[in-house]
Structure formats: structure tokens, C-alpha cells
Structure 1
Amino acid sequence: MTARQRLWRIDQIHFDENQEFYYYSVSNVSGVPSNEVLFPSIESIKKSEIPPPAKDKLGSPRYQQLLLQALRLDLIYGTTSFISLQNSKVIPISYQMVPVLMALNMKKVRLLLADDVGLGKTVETGLILQELLGRKRINRVLFVTPANLREQWQTILRNFFGIDAVIMSRRNRRHLESELLVGGSPWGYYNFVITSVDYAKQLDVRSEIMQFNWDMVVMDEAHNIMMPHGGVDDVDNKNIKKSYLFARQLTEKYPHLLLLTATPHNGYKDSYTSLLKMVNPNIIEEVDTEIEIDKDLAINHVCQRRRHDVEQWIGDRYEKSPFPERDSDEIFITPSDQFHHTMEKLSKFANYVMNYVNKLTTEDNQRSYWTILHFFKRAISSPEALICSIDNRNDEIDKKLNEKHQAIENLTQFLSIEEAGQSVLDGAETDRISEEERDIRNDRIVLAQSMDLLSQEKGLLLEVQVEAEKLKKKDRKVDELINEIIPNLLKNSKKVILFTRYIDTLKYIHQNLKETIDSGSLRYKGMDLFYVHGQLPSQKRMEIYDDFLKNPAAILISTDCMAEGIDLQFSANQIINYELTWNPNRLEQRNGRVDRFGQPEPKVFIRTLIMKDTIEMDILELLVKKAQNIKEEYGFVPGFFGDPKDIIDRLTKRRKEKLKPQATLDSYLKLTPRIMDDLVSTFYNKENLEEILKDSFYGHNNIDLQEIEHRMQMSQEKIGSSATIFAFLKSSVQLYKGNLTQAKENEHIFEVQLPPEILHDLNVEVEGPIRVTQNMNLGATRKDVDALSLKNALIAGLIEKVKNEAFIEEKQFYGRTAAFTSTHAETVKAIYHLKIRYYINTDPPSITEEITTLGIDLFSEDILTEKSINQIISGEMNNAGKPDAFVLKHIAKALENTDLEIKFEDLANRRKQELINERTDLIQRLQEQGLTADLQGISDVKVVGTDLLTIAIIYPQGD
């Protein structure tokens, strides 16, 4: 339509309930997004139509075919089921479209995406965003993530979905504000903002965020923002968890919400249901202090699949599983004599501490026990980690000696029992302090109350340190890693990721590996070495990872900063766990970084190092193995149930019952089966497991994957596949006198060269050839290669250029008229391509459009069947080779047909009815599957416009 002296395309019709008036979201006629809105009640808006093709201008079949390709690729607001398939650079498999379908059936999209690790929740989120953005249902999105995932989200959104999001942090804010007018807020200016939960939950930041309108909120690793078990649920209570309060406020205010987590249930119903209440408060009802879940309602809001659910779904429908085979094994390291000497000295120190703290309060006793376990765990990790802990503790002792043993003020605020326990048990970070800081504070808990006790403790620590320094020279664990374990894995592939719990161990491994590589070892010839940890800025971490990603032969050493939410499958297929994490969920998170959907290699290799004759063996047998058995029985890896205080209470009680007064801590740390069984029952009790299974929504088998695949196929037919995009690229490059050649190093990479003036028109600035690929995995692993999609800048520019030039009569490449010969035409035919626009009476109303064809016999005026039209337009098109004047007479005749408008109207009405039937059938199928939310109006369709795009005259071959 025409308004403000410009042509616009209406994308969505809105109704303001408060002011009671309609307004339109619009874009320009070619579909370029705009922030403009039109107000029909107060400004002049007139219906406009695309003028018919020129009767006196003849184009060519080549130009017309290219124009129609461009128009179809640009038809982002069409009648297809899934428009996200070509608005992203991912090739999803059918199960990943299930949450997209769920979202499309909601007026307000409120979903908890709770698929297992490795199934692609980030991909599912990106596809949902593209569907809603393409359909003009959302415009502004706030992403709330853990701090270490901000750059990962930014990269994925940009590279795979063409969404440019800014990262908002205290450090970035000044830069973002410098690009705005004075007083402008980046929160209100940018449409896509990524921020960390720790930054955003602060009162001043939270208040500013809430001042602006967001259409959708996406919260990743949502288990971090759920209400703690037994925690405060009153937003006015000062003791409420800050991240939970922030999440509550966001989810209550803004319409669309996606919560992402692989572990939504921690075994406590109150915590789990706090997430369900965020997506829809009506799901939860409290009856006599009992929490009830309305599962019939919740099933529409929760998408939760285990890996084996998906594998069963896929079955024989694909040539191979989308998941790799896992080759996983534990490698048992026999400790050296020097290791035992070190542990003996550490036990002597530990027993000394436990003896004097037994005289203190129960709480201090418990806190110290966690500290002792912490020291043993770090000793098992590496001698360097133990030495660093000793340095930290002696530094604290020296402060006390110098200050006449003043105690740490408010020990609970310094490090609570729960935080000390989580440090040992590899639990989640708290709102208060990072994991690294939590470990350091655990080193520094010194409770000795006299100068003599402090001095003796320091002396014992120095004895341990002497032995640990000796161990560094005779460390069998690091020797086996470098001389056997890594070289054996390098026989499979030249990329390895090594995880360790501690930064100090990371630096120790890096130093030893670097010395080996620098020495010229043939085993490591050509290998590069990288490391990342949580104390590096997140941007720096991603830069290092990108270098590792593109390197063909390299080792990456990382702490768990790369183990949560970051997809590593394109960079490597081998993982080494340098020590056993005591949290099976964390171990699964690590392994799931490479053992996941999209892993290009058929097999992943995972090795976990275990120190024999240590507490690691007990943890492996009675915790990790137990978790694996639970996964086999229940289908999920459970979290730890029970808080650290409960665990330490039980362990302390068992210690008093089972151990003689003269027993050493060595025998204590070699936990008895009874103690470990008690620990297991605290972590994994049957009641908690049954609670999870009862409350969860595993399977989601009510949605038929065949229906999803049918709709995906229909979408591909209407908007084209990656092969369609490549064909368009090839034709466009030829048209503009460029070159498209296969790269020498890889058959899947193509190099595009275009004249400088064409690149200028496309607003593409490059040095050298543009490198593209249809292989999405290759596009993900190579920064110098861009995967082809509609979000590709080159493709988008070519579409716009072809449309503009092929539509304008004065341009060289006019494509709205053409003539060609066909072996499928016995008489002269006319083929018309039409764009039909529909009004869908949903709430709010929406507009959709499609391109379709009409064929008639030019002289008998009989209408061609769909089969005949398809045979003609899909066959070989040879230039008619007839004089322009001769062809133009036939074009004029085809355009002047007296019944042409009636034929167009009949076609539009026929297509409308087919659309209604298709949507009515869809509603029935979805109702059978239990998905009926917000479908009202999708089958109430009206034709609101029909535009003639192109006309072609077809002559019989040899005529």
C-alpha cells in the first residue's frame, strides 16, 4: 500500500486495547525490515498494486528464472510451516523442530526447553527466534546467561541465525553508550541484548532493564535461577535469592519466555516448580501445603527429551544416528612412592587440624572437615594445586600470627558450610562468589586459637610442601598423560580437549606439555597448545577457542568454564578428564560438549584419569557408577540431592561410630562402604528419583515426527533448500560476470569473485575471493568460510539486486517477460507467476503470502493442469529465437485476455480453500496430539491481494 509517499508491505495488524485503534507493522515492498508503523485512523493509506509486466519490453528466460528464484527466497512471510529453515545456517533434524511447532501454536510463547545435554537447545532457541522474527511476532529480545556463555551466544546468534546481539556488561557499557546520543540507554536502543545473570540481577541494573519493553526473554542454564529448596519465594523478603528474584520479575512482566536447562529438576519439588510457575503460574496449585502440577497444561509448555527418546524416535528414518558413538573409559593411575609420602604428610597435617577443631563448635568442625577434603582432593589433582593451597593457607596463618591471631570476622560470610561443601562436591556457583574464589577461601579457613597451634600447623604444612615439590619431579600421573594417554588419543585424531577442575593444575599440565613440545618430541610434532580458564576475560577465552577451532592439530586445556553450555563438537571429538569430578552432572556436561548432535565425527573418545588407592576410587564406584546406573534405569543423570550440611552431618556421625580414637585420617578418608552407602542415599535416594520421574515430561511422544518431517518437506519445496540457494548464487555470479570456482583444498568450499562495482552495490567489503559452503559443519569450524543461507550477506545482497534490476524496465536484466521453447508444449502457452496475499484472522491478525502459477493455452484459453505447468517450467528452457515484435504481440494478447482477472481470482480462491483445508487438517492432527493452544483463527483466511509478477510465452520445440 501507499503511505507517506512510499510503498509499504503490511507485515502485521495490531490492535491497541487501551486506545482502541489499529496500527500496522510495515516493511518496504521488498521485505526489508523496518521499525515504522502506520496508523490508518489518522493518516492517508491507499491500497497499491504492483504494475503489470511491460507489454513492449522482452526479457529472457534466464533473467526471469533468476528473478523468480530471488522472489521465492525473499518470501520470508509465506504460507510455509517453517520459515526458519532458510533463515538460519543450521540444518535441523525433525526432533529439533518440535519446540518450534509448540511455539507457533502459542499466542504467548512460554516454554521450558529441558532436553538432555547435547540435543541442541541453543539451535532450537535460534529456530524459534527466527520463526517469530520472520512472522513479526517479536522484535526485541533479552538474553540472560551465565557470564562465561555471553560470547558463545553472541557468536551463535550472529553466525548461525544472522542476529546481531550486543553484550551488555559493566565493561562494555561505556563503549555502547559512546555510540548513542547523550542520555541514551543501550538497554532501550539495541533490539538484541545479551547480559549475564550476575550483572543483571544487581538492583540498579535490574531496575534499568525493567524500564524497557522486551518482547521475549531467553534465560540459559535456568537451573541457576530457580528457587533454592526451602528458599524464600516472597519478592519482598530481603533474603530471597537475587537471581531468582530477577527471573521472577522478568518472567512476570514480558510476554514471551524461553527457559533453557538440561537439569530442571534437582530432586526438590519446590525448586522445580518455581521454573514451571515462570512459564505459566496456572500449572502449579498448592493444596494443603502440597504442590500439585497440572500435567495436561504443563505438557504444552515443557519440551523435555532424553537422548534415547530421540534415538528411538529417529529409528530407521535416517541413514545414520545424528549422535556419535561414545568410546569412554577410565584410566587408573598407580600412585608413585613419592605420592604416598606426600599423602602421609598431608594426613599428618589433617589429623592435627581435626584434633583441635573437635574442641570447637559443631559448625566449625564441619566446615574444617570440608577444608581437609578440599586439600586431599587438590593433592589428588596435582602437586602444584596442593602447593598453591598450602601457600594460600600459610599466607592466612602468617596474617594471624602477625595480627596476634585475630579470627576472620563473620566466618559464615567468609565461606558458609554449604559453600565449602559445594567447593568439594563440584556444585554450582552461588550468587555470591565464583568457584575459583570459593576454592581459595576454602584454603584459608584457619580456626586455630593460639600462637602455638598456628605455628605447629604451619610447620606441618611446610613438611607437606617439601614432599609435594619432590612429587612434581616424579609425578606418574602427568608423565602417563604426556607419554601415553595423549599420544594414544592422537592416533585417532589430532585434536584433544583436556578438562581439569583447578586453574593451578591447568597451569601445571600446560607447563609440562609445553616443555615436551618445545623439546621437539616426535609424538607432538606440529601440535599447538592452548589453555583457557575462568579468570580470563570471556572475550579472550573465545578468541583462544577460535584459534583452537581452526587449528588442525592442537590440544586445549580448560577448566569447567568451557564445560557448561558451550558447543565444542566442531573443534574436537576427544576429551580427557584429568581428575574425576565428584559431581556426575558436571562430568556429563563436560563429555556432552563433544558427544552431542552435530558432532561431525562418527565416534567420540572420552578418558577419565583415576588415582588408585585414593578417595577417587570410592567416589567412582559409589557415586559416579551409581549415577550411571540411575541413568540406565531412569534415563537421566540426577543432580546431587541434599545440601552439603546434611552430608557432612551424616559423615561426621558415621566417623564417630566406626573409627577408633587413634585412627589416622588416611583410614578415615578411605571411606567405609557403610559411610559411602549413606552418602549415596543422601545424594541419590529413591524418593527423590521417583519424584523427578513423576514430575518430568520425558519423551514428548505426543508430537508425531512424521508430521514434523512432512511440514519440513513442504517448507523446503516452497522456499527452497541450500541447493536452491547455491543454484541462485551460481546463476547470479554468472549474470554479473563473476566467477564461482571450487577451492583446491576442499571440494565443499567455493570461491566467489565479483567485479568491484557489483560488490559495491551489494555493500560487501572483502579482500580476495568470498569463500562459501553448503556444508554447515564446515561453515561452523572455519572462520574464513561462510555457510550459505538467506542470512548470508552475499546472498541477501544478490537477492535484492536481482529483484531491483529484473523489475525495472530500463535495466539491462529485465525479467518480468520472457519467451522460450519447451518439448512439453504442443501449442503456444502463457505461464503467469502470481503473488497472492492472505489475511489470517488470528489474534492479532496476520498477513501471509505465496507465489503460485497459472497456465493457459494462448489461443484456446484452456487452463493448464498443475502437472503440465510443472513439466514446462521444470524442463529445459531454450530461448525462443523469435523476433521481439513477434513475441511481444503474444505477450500483449496474454495480458489483454478479458477473463484474466477472473482466472486470477479463481486461482486465488482455490489456493485459499486449499490453505484452509490444510490448516483445518493441521488443527485436527494437533488436537489429536494434545497441542491445541492458541490455534483459533489460523484457518480463517481471506484473499486481500493478487499481484502479477511475471509472464512467459512458451512455444513448441522446433516451431
Structure 2
Amino acid sequence: MVLSFSPGDLVRARGREWVTLPAPREGVLALRPLSGNENDVVVLAPSLEISSVEAARFDLPEDARSTVQAKAALLADALRLTLRRGAGPFRSAAQLAFEPRTYQLVPLLMALRLQVPRLLIADDVGIGKTIEAGLILREFMDRGEVDSFSVLCPPHLVDQWIIELKDRFGVDAVPVTSGSAARLERNLPLAQTLFDAYPYTVVSLDYIKAEKRREGFARACPDFVIVDEAHACVGTHKGKQQRFELLQGLARDPERRIIMLTATPHSGDEEAFARLLSLIDQDFGTLDFDSARYRERLARHFVQRRRVDLVEGDWHEDRSFPKHETTEHAYRLSPEHLAFQEAVLDYCLSVVSKAGEQKRDQRLAFWGTLALMRCVGSSPAAALSALRNRAANEADRLEPQIYDEDGDDEDAVDIEPSMAFSDDPALRALIDQASGLLEANDPKLDALVSALKPLIKSGANPVVFCRYLATADHVKAGLRKAFPKLIIESVTGELTPDERRDRVAEMALEDKEEGAQRILVATDCLSEGINLQQLFDTVVHYDLSWNPTRHQQREGRVDRFGQPAELVRSIMMFSPDSAIDGAVLDVILRKAEEIRKATGVTVPLPDERGPVTHALMCAMMLRRGGHKQLTLDLRLEDGTKVMEARWRDASENEKKSRARFAQNAMKPSEVAPEWDKVRSLLGSPEDTRLFVERAMSRFGVPLEKKRNVYIAHVHALQQSLKEKLEQRGLEKSVRLAAAEPAPSGTSLLTRTHPLTASLAESLVEASLDQEALPDLGVGRVGAWPTAAVSAMTRVALLRVRYKLTIHGRKEQLLLAEEAALVALQGKSIVATGEDVRDMLSTPATADLATIARDRMINAAKAELPDLLAGPLAAFVEQRAAELVEDHARLRTAAGSISRVSVEAVLPPDVIGLFVLMPGEM
């Protein structure tokens, strides 16, 4: 007879007991050892086994080893920490390597309430959109509803997604880019696509948008897709049109789950916003934005929170974000630098005046002037590079470079632009003048050193953003002379994305002495793609960004969720002697700040840059003086007015959008209680810390505490455990943080941390297998007197298994597990959960004589069958009913019934049985 097994059943195969897991296909069994972890899973075909696979029971053995109170409490904590397949509505909670903030759970709850989740998450920069999307993905994976996915993102974000998925969610994905796709496809069968072979992928939008790949991807695309920087997929630009066509094709499948992320969903462009929303539901692209009925319908799919909403509103949590202090640091130019600026500006304006009436010639002259003046304001090194660069094919690239608007498919360009001016003696004289300044004292660099000295003294770790590569090299050399004891590196476009990430990581490794400080000099190639909050807490804008969005992106690398510092500083450097600095501050940055204060977000510059160019030229000429007639001749005042009017219109549209679509449908009181239930079952971060402290002491290697950091000397642990940790990447001494944000050089100590998991698994294994770590003496039965009880109380440590059935598009039968503590007096349950944990953790008041201890243990064992058939079975059934209610409450969508049913597997596994006797304090 062939037996049929389902997830949660116990079986005996290959001489040991296993618990069955969801099988990958019919005809095979996926099995996990009862004393093992998720990495010990095997898949076997019963028909091919030498010995048949049989049903099994998990009984408390007659010769179960006895233990003492402290080890019994440790075993209870270890069991709770080993379980990964949660039974509650947040099934993924046990798999997370961090403690999510309450507000970050809102998109997950919204997704759970939709038949086919399609969301636009439009939270501000630094709030944690990646985390919010990852929570949705991990939850649906653990519910068995997602077995493959693709993240679509700009190429510079691919590596960041790979790292975040692995480090925070335990998901190993492969990158699909122009550089990796051919390698991944090599040796695949003709009938198998890359996405069949690799179900978890992070895909470069730049690579996949091409028409020859777009169609193939549409056919092979998983039915769960995350789209990062979704605003880059709508618009008139050719690349954006290609992306939109790609997403539009994917969205035609009504069953495909799509989670889109953007910090700038609207930006004053209602047409682009409507196109973005049409990817959620085609109707959303045409419905009336002002309709209350439309807003109510959209609110189920759209969530948008500003930083201020989470810092000051109902969602406020202590230390969700650091405070942000912004200052301006003015410096004066030396006579030599001022003379050079005047000479360059005179030269540029002479070129502008000769441009004639042709609009294209005027535009090229304007762009050339602004580009060169920007290099002059950056550094003599950047100016010299630009003056010497005579490439003739750069004219069409000047405008986007000026406004820091690099293409969506490429990194920020930090090479100095070539000029559209012809070579002549006056230009050669400027080159000689710039060469001379390289040997002179640099007042801007001196001002930077002056601004950094008090910050460094206070313990700050700054990132200095420069616009050009030559400037970054110049600044790095100057700072190394000024601060010889600090770790100072630079990251520029000369490095590949991998080399940039490695350079930043190496700075953390170099920080071997506690309190060592670092300065990073970077160009805007680092303003996206690599988060810097763990290493740096200050941003210096050595060169002002001419793009408010880029300006915010720079600061967002440091000022974001997970920043351990309580205060983040940003400093804008400028010279009142500089015509270009003043023009940019007045025309762009200060106006952008006014708009940000009014709307709560940064609104990009209007798409049409002609008026902005005119406004900057006007401001620069008027600051310079003596060129009013030229200003009038070119009618530049009109440009200033047009630019301000269009930016004001965009700002008003953004404010209207915020008022229409602000996410107010969900309150903290709806979210927090659900997560609190999870924490009580899985343990809080503090519970995890206490467990690791106690376990390391039990293994003879106590944690060493230094300030807010714990050091685990894992190299001193016994050989079997040390080898297990080495396999998980832990060697020598490991620096741990007990709470987020984790300081630089530490890892957050969570229930999924390799140290926590290895200790917990080893303790459970030692209790179940007497030959495993016998010196620990961790047993499954015990008896002792304690002040925690006033009558004889029996405590059962249970591992409870449930069969969860997800009634969705396809029915899924899943295994769920919980650790439970139940206290009984006679046949009545008197306490459960944390109350029993407190009983078990209360120290014994005395040692019992061996004969007395054994008598009480044997009496408890004798009554165990009746308890399992009676009160313990009732407890497990009641818990299953509660789980059904919990799932129903979270999964209900538009009045539908629960989509989850829960069946308890009886009897529960008795991991431990302990007798507590009344004892005096």
C-alpha cells in the first residue's frame, strides 16, 4: 500500500524521522529532519527508496535526558527561534533579518486585501520602499503564492536589489544585465528560457526594454513583478516609451501581480501620472482625478507618505529617522581666482554676443557658457580639463549635463564637458591662467577643510559630493594632506559599479579601531544605487547640484531609514563672489526648497529647459554687471518669468495630487496590534539578544560588550559549532548590534542572524539527540522548586504543526509551525505563552534530590497521553480557530470570506515536559 503524505505529516525514512514539506512536484516528498533546519531539506521519490516511507509519531522517549531550570528556559527560547514557517497571517515574519517599522507594513496589508495585488508605492526618498516591496514579496513567497519573480530596475540599482533581497529577506536572486545575460543563458536547453532556469531575477530595464528582448520577456515573465523607479517608465523620451510599452504588455495579464515604486509619481505632470496609474488598472488612466469615488477606488492601490507624515503625524515612532540639519557655508574667492572667473565670463559673454539671431547658435552659446562657468566654479582642475577638451560632438550632450540630467539608462556623467567654442588665442590664454591656479592656494578647498574640522572633531563621517572627476581627485588629495589620520577615499565614474561598491565596503573593513573616522569624496555616480547610511552621517555639497532631485538623492544616500546617527547634517558650499553659484542658488535651489517646504516633496525642474537656461544666464549677467544691454537684447527676463510660472504650476499640481491621494485609509491602530501578535510568538529583538547572551555563556564563550556593541568570539566555540558558523560566513570575532540602526562595522542581531540560528539549532538538536553536544546537558524533562508557582504545575513545551490551505487562484497546502508553552495544573490549562515563559525563566529556589525529581518526572510522563488527548489537543484546536480569524481579518477584500483555512496536526510534538513545584524566595 502506498501511503499519501501532506505537509506537516511525520514520516520515517532512511532510518530517521522527518516532517513533510510542500513537494516541488507530484511523486516526490520534500522532507526536513525533525531536529534539522531549512537547509537540511531532502527531496526523495518513495518508489525508489530501499525501505518504504512510513507514517511516524514524535513521542517523548522514556529515556529522555533530564535538565535544570536554566537549560529548560534556554531550550524553550531556542525552539521558538528555530521555526521559520509561521502559522499567523504574517507568515514571512520568521524569515526577516530586521524589525520592520509599523508604517512599512501598510503596503503589505494593502496587498493582502487585493485579489490581484497591484500597488503604486510612492513614499519619499529614504522611507524604505525597497523594504516595503520586499515584505510583500517575501510574504507571498511564504504563502506559496509566488514561486518566481522579477524585479525591474535601472541598471545602477541591480546590485543594490540583489544585496537587499539576500541580506534582509534571505532571497537569492540573480542579476540579468547586458553583462550577465549571455553567461546565464550559456548551456541552457533550447526550450528553456533564462527566466525558466532562474526563477528569482533582478533585471536591468535598460537591457530588457529592447524590442528583441521585450517580447521574449513578456512571454517568460513571472506573474509577480516589482518595478523600481517606475516614474522612469513614462514620458516622451524614447527610452521611457520603450519601458512603458514593456510594462503595458506585462499589465495586460489580469492575473499578474505588479508592485511599482517611485518617490516622484506626479511631479506636476498629470498626463505622465495617469499613464503610470493605467498600469494598475487601465481605467485609472482616464478617470476623473477629482472624483471622490475614483479616489476611494485608487486608495486601495496607491500609498504615498512624506517624511513629515511619519516624523510628526500619527505614524511617528522614536528613531524612525534622524533629524536633518541643513546649512550654507560661504567662502570668498582669492583675487587670482576671482580674476580667472571674470576672464572666463568675459570670454563667454563675447561668444554669446556673437551668436547671432539663430536660436540654435544662441542655445549652444548659452550651454557652453553655463557648462564652462560650472567647471570654473568647481575647481581649477575641472576648468582646465574643460578648456582643453576640444571634442566636437558633445554639443547635444551639454544641456542634460548642465542640469545633472543623465539618461535613465546610464550613470551620472562626471567627466568635464567639452566646449562648443572654437579655439583662439583668448581661449589659450585662459588655459595658461587655469594651469597657474593649480599651483596656487585654493580658497574653496581651504573652506572645505575649515567646515570639516569641527565636524570631524565631533565624530562625524562626511561624504563630499563633487560634480567633476578632476575636482574629486583634487579634493581627495587636499583632504589627505589636511586629515592624514583619517580614512579618505574617492569614488568616481572611473570605477565600475562593482568597484564602487567594493571601495565603499573596504572603507568599513579599514575601520579596525573603534572610533576611527572616514571621509568619502564622490561624484554623482554614487548619488544613486549604493546606500551609505551605515558608514556616513554628513553630506557636503562641494559643488551645488543644478537638479533639485539629484540634490535630494545625494542627501538620501545618508539621510534614510537605518541611519544610526540621531542627527544628519548637509552643507551647501557657495561663494558670494561667484556669479554662477549665486545664480543657481537664487534660480534653482532656494526656489526648490520653498516648493519642498510647501508640498513636503522635491518637485523636479520643468521639462522644458529653455526658460531655465535663460533665467540662469540672466541672473549671472546681472550679478556680473555691465551686461544689462546684452541681457535685454537676448530678452532673458522673459525666460525667468516663464520658468518661475511653470515651476509654480508644477508645484501647485503636486500639492493638489498630495491632497487628493494622501494615504489616510489605514491607521496605526489597525497595523500595530497585528505585528505585536507576531512578536509575542516569535520573540522580540530584545528576546533574541538575551537568548544569544545566555547561549554563548552556556557554550563557555560569553559575549563581550563594548558600549552599544556586542562582540562574539565565535572562534573559541567548540569545533562542531565553529564549523557550522564558518559555513555561514562567521569567523574570528563578530561585532553585533542589538537594535536597529546598526552602527558601522556591525551586523544586526536578529532571529535569522547566522549566530542566532546556529546556536538555537544546536541547542534543539542537543535536546533531541543525546549524542549531539552531550557536554551541554540540555535535556527534555526536569523538575525543580520555584517561586513562580503556588501549586504543582506542569509545563509542556510544544512544537505545533498546522496544515494551512490558501484558497487563491490555485489552492496551496502549506506546513506551518509554532512553538507553544502551556502550563497545566491537573488537567486544566492555567497559563500559556509569555506567562509560562516567565514561569520557566524564574530561577529554581533549590536542587531536588534525584529520587524526588525522577518521581515527579515519571508521574508527569504517565499523565502525558491523557493531556495530549484532552486539554493540549483542545488548546491546539482553539489556536487553529484563532489563526483562521487572524487570517480572515487581514485577507478580507471587499466583503469576501477568509481565503485561508487551518487544520491542526494532532498530537503536537512534546519537545519538553517540566514540573514546577512551589518554592520559597
Which of the five TM-score ranges fits, normalised by the shorter chain?
A: 0.7 to 0.9
The structure 2 residue matched to 1:502, chosen from 465, 468, 478, is 468
Asked whether 1:910 is paired with 2:878, we answer yes
Residue in 2 that maps onto 1:295: 295
Matches within 5 A, 1:554-593: 554-593=518-557
Task: Give the SS at the match of 1:279.
Answer: coil
Q: CA deviation at 1:732?
A: 3.9
Residue in 2 that maps onto 1:32: 38
Asked whether 1:304 is paired with 2:316, we answer no
| Pair 502,810 (structure 1): closer, same or farther in 2 beyond 3 Å | closer
8 Å CA contact 2:603–2:654 kept in 1: the answer is no
| Pair 321,729 (structure 1): closer, same or farther in 2 beyond 3 Å | closer
Residue in 2 that maps onto 1:725: 688
Q: CA deviation at 1:497?
A: 1.0
How far apart are the structure 2 equivalents of 1:34 and 1:142?
A: 27
Residue in 1 that maps onto 2:418: 443
Residue in 2 that maps onto 1:411: none
Asked whether 1:526 is paired with 2:485, we answer yes
Matches within 5 A, 1:480-519: 480-514=446-480, 516-517=481-482
How far apart are the structure 2 equivalents of 1:151 and 1:187?
A: 18
Identical-residue share of aligned pairs (%): 21
| Pair 329,376 (structure 1): closer, same or farther in 2 beyond 3 Å | same
Residue in 2 that maps onto 1:740: 702
Q: CA deviation at 1:808?
A: 3.7
How far apart are the structure 1 equivalents of 2:917 and 2:121?
A: 56
Question: Structure 1 regions of 5+ residues with no counterpart?
Answer: 233-238, 397-407, 409-413, 447-453, 518-523
Residue in 1 that maps onto 2:503: 544
8 Å CA contact 1:427–1:583 kept in 2: the answer is yes
Q: CA deviation at 1:79?
A: 3.4
| Pair 879,368 (structure 1): closer, same or farther in 2 beyond 3 Å | farther
Asked whether 1:875 is paired with 2:842, we answer yes
| Pair 781,204 (structure 1): closer, same or farther in 2 beyond 3 Å | farther
Asked whether 1:128 is paired with 2:136, we answer yes
Residue in 1 that maps onto 2:676: 713
How far apart are the structure 2 equivalents of 1:98 and 1:34?
A: 34
Matches within 5 A, 1:82-101: 82-101=90-109
How far apart are the structure 1 equivalents of 2:221 and 2:189?
A: 20
Letter paired with 1:274:
R
| Pair 762,687 (structure 1): closer, same or farther in 2 beyond 3 Å | closer
Residue in 1 that maps onto 2:762: 801
8 Å CA contact 1:354–1:368 kept in 2: the answer is yes
Residue in 2 that maps onto 1:421: 399
Asked whether 1:893 is paired with 2:862, we answer yes
Q: CA deviation at 1:673?
A: 6.3
Matches within 5 A, 1:116-515: 116-172=124-180, 187-203=195-211, 206=214, 209-210=217-218, 212-214=220-222, 216-224=224-232, 226-229=233-236, 241-250=241-250, 252=252, 255-285=256-286, 294-313=294-313, 318=317, 320-358=318-356, 360=358, 362-393=359-390, 395-396=391-392, 416=396, 419-431=397-409, 435-436=412-413, 443=418, 445=420, 454=422, 457-474=423-440, 476-514=442-480
Letter paired with 2:703:
T
The structure 1 residue matched to 2:818, chosen from 845, 850, 861, is 850
8 Å CA contact 2:150–2:221 kept in 1: the answer is no
| TM-score (norm: length of structure 1) | 0.81
Q: CA deviation at 1:719?
A: 0.3
Task: Give the SS at the match of 2:485.
Answer: coil
Q: For structure 1, which segment, 462-471 or 475-484, has the greater mean C-alpha deviation from structure 2 after superposition? A: 475-484
Letter paired with 2:326:
S
Letter paired with 2:67:
S
Residue in 2 that maps onto 1:51: 58
Q: Give the total of aligned pairs.
A: 886
8 Å CA contact 2:549–2:602 kept in 1: the answer is yes
How far apart are the structure 2 equivalents of 1:460 and 1:822?
A: 94
| Pair 951,743 (structure 1): closer, same or farther in 2 beyond 3 Å | closer
How far apart are the structure 2 equivalents of 1:605 and 1:590?
A: 12
Residue in 1 that maps onto 2:603: 638
Q: CA deviation at 1:98?
A: 1.9
Q: What are the superposed Cα offsets for residues 473-532 of structure 1, whole Å, 9 maximum, x if unpaired?
A: 446543433442222332332422111122222122223334x34xxxxxx241232111
How far apart are the structure 2 equivalents of 1:434 and 1:497?
A: 19
Root-mean-square deviation over aligned CA pairs: 4.4
8 Å CA contact 1:497–1:572 kept in 2: the answer is yes
How far apart are the structure 2 equivalents of 1:814 and 1:53?
A: 15
8 Å CA contact 2:67–2:779 kept in 1: the answer is yes
Residue in 1 that maps onto 2:785: 821
Q: CA deviation at 1:295?
A: 2.3
Asked whether 1:764 is paired with 2:727, we answer yes
Letter paired with 1:124:
E
Task: Give the SS at the match of 2:96.
Answer: coil
| Pair 367,866 (structure 1): closer, same or farther in 2 beyond 3 Å | same
How far apart are the structure 2 equivalents of 1:117 and 1:805?
A: 47
Q: CA deviation at 1:429?
A: 1.9
Q: CA deviation at 1:212?
A: 4.0
The structure 1 residue matched to 2:750, chosen from 772, 782, 789, is 789
Task: Give the SS at the match of 1:607.
Answer: strand
8 Å CA contact 2:709–2:736 kept in 1: the answer is no
Q: CA deviation at 1:917?
A: 4.6
Residue in 1 that maps onto 2:909: 948
Q: What are the superposed Cα offsets for residues 47-97 of structure 1, whole Å, 9 maximum, x if unpaired?
A: 956422113434324554444323322332223454555533333322222
How far apart are the structure 2 equivalents of 1:502 and 1:694?
A: 36
Q: What are the superposed Cα offsets for residues 366-412 of structure 1, whole Å, 9 maximum, x if unpaired?
A: 2442232222222222222222122112x54xxxxxxxxxxx6xxxx
Residue in 2 that maps onto 1:625: 590
| Pair 751,150 (structure 1): closer, same or farther in 2 beyond 3 Å | same
Task: Give the SS at the match of 2:666.
Answer: coil
| Pair 269,775 (structure 1): closer, same or farther in 2 beyond 3 Å | same
8 Å CA contact 2:785–2:916 kept in 1: the answer is yes
Letter paired with 1:423:
Q
| Pair 216,472 (structure 1): closer, same or farther in 2 beyond 3 Å | same
Task: Give the SS at the match of 1:609.
Answer: strand
Letter paired with 2:405:
G
How far apart are the structure 2 equivalents of 1:208 and 1:801?
A: 47
Asked whether 1:703 is paired with 2:710, we answer no
How far apart are the structure 2 equivalents of 1:150 and 1:99?
A: 22
| TM-score (norm: length of structure 2) | 0.84
How far apart are the structure 1 equivalents of 2:328 and 2:563?
A: 22
| Pair 443,907 (structure 1): closer, same or farther in 2 beyond 3 Å | same
Letter paired with 2:142:
G
How far apart are the structure 2 equivalents of 1:826 and 1:194?
A: 58
How far apart are the structure 2 equivalents of 1:570 and 1:100?
A: 26
Q: What are the superposed Cα offsets for residues 102-154 of structure 1, whole Å, 9 maximum, x if unpaired?
A: 23334433322221122222333333343333333334343333333333333
Task: Give the SS at the match of 1:294.
Answer: helix
Task: Give the SS at the match of 1:493.
Answer: coil
8 Å CA contact 2:177–2:204 kept in 1: the answer is yes
Letter paired with 1:303:
V
How far apart are the structure 2 equivalents of 1:591 and 1:106?
A: 35
Q: CA deviation at 1:634?
A: 1.9
Task: Give the SS at the match of 1:443.
Answer: coil
